[in-house]
Structure 1
Amino acid sequence: MKKALWLLGVLLVSAIVILATVDFNRFGKDTVYVQISDVASVKETKLDSGEMIKRYWYKLPAYNENGNLTEVEFSAAKELRKNAYLMLYIKDGNEVTSYDEVQLTDIPQKAKEKLEG
């Protein structure tokens, strides 16, 4: 009985650690690369508290590691740095779930050629 409770405790702690550390917005997603240009639009939302929240929307061409084009639209809580390169995590073809800024040297060659082209 004690072994079963101990094993259950270990499994529970392991599950909590996994859930706390794995970013499911990135796990198992495809990646594409973009270069930030101008903001497509800024949308302001007024909260019940009266605070105004801004979302910056971007609509850009994105390229996968093979250089294939995908049009993506995504938002950010802050204005992204112009000319920055991003690796976008996408699902269902073009739904952006997360992003990371990357250096041009980190981008696969075929995608880099399309972005520079």
Structure 2
Amino acid sequence: MLRAILQFFVTAAGLWLAAQVVPGVAFTATSSLLWAAFLLGIVNALVRPILVFLTFPLTVVTLGLFLLVVNAATIGLVAVLLGGFVVDGLWAGIGAAIITGVVSWAAGAFIGDGKRRE
């Protein structure tokens, strides 16, 4: 449970940084940011695996780069579902996907995966 809450805040931090850095990504309020992080977690758990499965051949051909488009699509879906979150186009979504991915990766490097190493 603690890990899920921590992941929620890491996702929120990644989305906030993406809104600061990437033109075309914006929030109208802090509550929109928090709702976007929550919805992105749900979309990543439910929709993203289906998209990854359906686009697997294209992902293999592009050596994994198409996963950026899949991640941008999930962020775009959250923007469509949530009124206070704006992603203006594919390139803004890809930029937001890169920023949130890097923030999640960096946080995971510091936090760890929860498994004990012996």
- TM-score category (smaller protein): under 0.3
Bigger radius of gyration: 1
Question: Greater helix share, 1 or 2?
Answer: 2
Q: TM-score, normalised by structure 1?
A: 0.20
Which structure would you say has the larger RCO, counting Cα contacts within 8 Å and 6 or more residues apart?
2
TM-score (norm 2): 0.20
Greater strand proportion: 1
